[in-house]
Structure 1
Amino acid sequence: MAYNWRCPYCSHASTITAENQSVGFHYFEHNNSLGKELGFQIVSTVCPNNDCKEVTLNASFGHTQYVGGRTRLAAPIIQNWALKPSSSAVVFPDYVPDPIRQDYEEACAILNLSPKASATLSRRCLQGIIRDYWKIVKGRLVDEIIALEDKIDPDTWAAIDAVRKIGNIGAHMEKDINIIVEVDPEEAQLLLELIETLIKDWYIARFKRQAHLAKIKAAADNK
């Protein structure tokens, strides 16, 4: 089945088909402690972009089910691994401040291993973005987020506010950002996706706008 995909190396958006991807599957029981048939799946994807052609490898482990004439993994998956690249981190340009990129990359790297540690780094990263980009310093992350409402567009605010109110994340944003929070993997993933969006919409969009305006000014000066 074809599906939309973005390469983690070159960020090229494309459609993945059987020409670009293969799936290997191994299943077993062997009287294991879970008492059910288990499966291990590895998916290899080659970027269709001719300027990239990098290989992405992902592995999954879980219970099996027989569907459509073949054995496959059943939801929920017990464990996932990003083998190549080793995390899902987007490679952001160096004009995004180092501490923000480092917290984000580390949060991505440990997402599957420890969602609660990933979420802690993400909350620190989010606070770093607000303080650096908007110069809002209030002490508590929740107060800094609330102060954003009148400064950003309604859609962005709605997304930030929605993530802020999710499960344990919202409650602990009122405390020290370094407190370890028990969160679901899906909640930790949402935090990372929010951070990626904010970096793109704020830092990268500002850089592109400034570069475009500088180009216009340079062209005008040459006339």
Structure 2
Amino acid sequence: MAAMNWECSYCGTFTTINDGDSTDDHAMLNLQSKHGAVKLRVFSVSCPNPNCRELSIDLVIRNFSHPAQRQMQWGSIVHQHRLWPEGKVMPLPVSIPEAIQKTYREAVLVLPVSGAASAALSRRCLQGIVRDYFEIPQNRRGDLGAELSFVKDKINSQVWDDIQAVRGVGDIGAHMDKNVDVIIDVDPNEAALLIGLIEELFKVWYIERDRRKEHSSQLKALLDGKRTQQKNAKIAAKVDPDSAAG
């Protein structure tokens, strides 16, 4: 197999996959089905990142030309499915509470099955993020709209508009319309947009906050170290004034 660009669904590493990192196996399926001549492709990749090395497996069922023909020709894809991991879940820092991480993972994993369910979970995840990140007090918790209004002045206007979209579409996914004859569905592509915003909030709120804390900690350690060196230099100068003068 020729080298190919690839992104790991576990650690998010962008890299180039070579022959040693992947396997590409095929198996012919029973010819008596209405699909005729189809083969199962099992494509697996081991992440080259030494800190990850997770395994990804994709399944593809595809038509091909009749096996009696000399040269096999691939046709249309009948079905494809990510076997492992089940969804592309963004790796998250430990600073994000496990309950929020669990809801996010569920929103991602249920996406191929139900866009409405995924949208409802994204809405729940959004509420958990708002409560945790902005430390909404218990006496202010309840309706998501009221909780958002409580912190509106702390949120960028563009992010605020996007959050309202997640809230609105999530409500549609979670509740039936009052008119039971009207069913407003949320397809997986639409629900994926909501997951995208949740992941963006993880980045601009949690991950960026962690980065700032780490940077501040490094700056403080640098200053403390320099002050210690300065103090030690002064002590040494008092002990050996001739050396300090020289």
TM-score when normalising by structure 2: 0.65
Residue number among 179, 183, 187 corresponding to 1:184 in the alignment: 187
Identity of aligned residues (%): 30
| Contact 1:44-1:56 at 8 Å conserved across structures | yes
Name the CA distance, whole Å, in 2 between partners of 1:95 and 1:82: 29
Q: Distance in 2 between matches of 1:25 and 1:190?
A: 34
What is aligned with 2:113?
113
Give secondary structure in 2 for the equivalent of 1:40: strand
8 A contact 1:39–1:73 mirrored in 2: no
Is 1:70 aligned with 2:73?
yes
Give 1:141 shift: 5.3
Partner residue, 1:93: 93
Structure 2 CA distance for aligned equivalents of residues 115 and 142 of structure 1: 26
Which ranges in structure 2 are unaligned for 5 or more consecutive residues?
66-70, 177-183, 228-246
Work out whether residues 57 and 83 of structure 2, in 8 Å CA contact, stay in contact via their aligned partners in 1.
yes
For structure 1, the residue ranges without an aligned partner over 5 or more in a row are: none
Report the alpha carbon displacement of residue 7 of structure 1 after superposing the two structures with TM.
2.1
Deviations 1:148-179 (A, max 9, x none): 5973274x567x37x93xxxx7854456x743
Shift of 1:142: 11
2:47 paired residue number = 47
CA distance in 2: counterparts of 1:26 and 1:142, whole angstroms:
56
Most deviating of 93-102 and 45-54: 45-54
User: Take 2:25 and 2:153, find their aligned partners in 1: how far apart are those partners?
Assistant: 48
Structure 1 pair 220–150 and aligned structure 2 pair: CA distance change class (3 A): closer
Give 1:184 deviation, angstroms.
Answer: 1.8
Question: Per-residue CA shift, 1:87-125, capped at 9, x if unaligned?
Answer: 322231221122211101122232333333222211211
Query: Deviations along 1:188-219, whole A, 9 cap, x unmatched?
Result: 33322322222022101101101211221232
User: Looking at CA atoms only, which structure, 1 or 2, has the larger radius of gyration?
Assistant: 2
Match of 1:214 in 2: 217
Q: Call closer, same or farther: CA 1:118–1:69 in 2, change over 3 Å.
A: same
Match of 2:125 in 1: 125
Aligned partner of 1:185: which letter? Answer: P
Q: Is the partner of 2:185 in helix, strand or coil?
A: coil
Aligned-residue offset at 1:140: 4.7
- Does the aligned pair in 2 maintain the 1:96–1:203 contact within 8 Å? yes
What one-letter code is carried by the residue in structure 2 that aligns with 1:88? K
Contact 1:140–1:174 under 8 Å retained in 2: no
Match of 2:241 in 1: none
SS at match of 2:91: coil
Determine the structure 1 residue equivalent to 2:23: 22
1:57 lines up with 2:21 in the alignment:
no
- Cα shift at 1:20: 2.4
Q: For residues 119-145 of structure 1, what are the alpha-carbon distances to aligned partners after superposition, in whole Å with 9 as ceiling and x for unaligned?
A: 221121123223432467783559949
- Which residue identity does 1:188 align to in structure 2? A
2:156 maps to which residue? 152
C-alpha RMSD of the superposition: 3.7
